[in-house]
Amino acid sequence: MKGQIIVLARHGQTDFNVKRKIQDPFAPHLTKVGYQQAQILGKEIEKLGINFDIIISSDMSRNVETLAEIYPNYKQRQNIKIDKRLRERAHRDLTGKTKENIERELGEKFSDRLSWELYFEGTEKSKLTNKYPNDESLDSVRKRLASLISELKDKNRTLLIGSSIINQYILEYLQTGAIGSSKIEFPKGNVLDFQENNELRIVTLDKNIRMNNYSSIEY
């Protein structure tokens, strides 16, 4: 692989995933399947044959549990850090709710999946906007992701271990410099849906740290 590369990994399945609940940073934990997915993820990362300059995991429980399956000695490795800037967006008023719960509260059905409503919350594209005022703003998420990514300018090989929506924001930021503005298309006309628990995403960047190419591996 040539050029600057960011590999996006997602945590394994959690108990909240199984129940289709919106997750907070620390309550959800990996299921048995989630641990198995994390172990397979470790093997897929090894297959890539990439010597990572830096490996960054969110500080959320499900991410740290995933990290520990991939790199059991992560606390002793100098190139691994845990960073709260990679934490999933805080949907404080929505934690523990399901799509059905929210639809009942709003009195209407969603035509799109709940993840997109969460993704665009704070804009006119989401029915959740202004309904749940204590949730983290898009501007807050953009600032912490911009800060994190700016520190990767001199890193040729980076592994980020995040979650579905935060990894989607990262892809959008690497493509456009914005988050929560539009669905990512790569190639144009092909909308990239949210990352699965059993999927690795690989992004190559140009000199301006913008997405140059994209590929994914399902395992």
Choose the CATH number for 1-19+35-88+156-219 among 1.10.260.40, 3.40.50.1240, 3.20.20.80, 3.40.190.10: 3.40.50.1240
Residue 137: its pLDDT value, please? Answer: 95
Kind of pairing between the strands at 4-10 and 157-162: parallel
Q: Give the C-alpha separation, 63 to 5, whole Å.
A: 21
For the chain, domain boundaries? 1-19+35-88+156-219, 90-135
Buried b / exposed e across 147-174, counting CB within 10 Å, b at 16+?
Answer: ebbeebeebbbbbbbbbbbbbbbbbbbb
Per-residue pLDDT, 1: 63
Per-residue DSSP letters for 62-74? Answer: HHHHHHHHH-TTG
Which residue among 11, 69, 117, 121 is the active-site one?
11
pLDDT attached to residue 3: 85
Decide if 28 contacts 14 (C-beta within 8 A): yes
Active site residue 11: yes
CA distance 136 to 191: 25
Which stretches of the chain drop beneath a pLDDT of 70? 1
pLDDT single digits (tens) 67-115 = 999 999 999 999 999 999 999 999 999 999 999 999 999 999 998 899 9
Q: 88, 121, 172, 199: which is the annotated catalytic residue?
A: 88
136 is catalytic: no
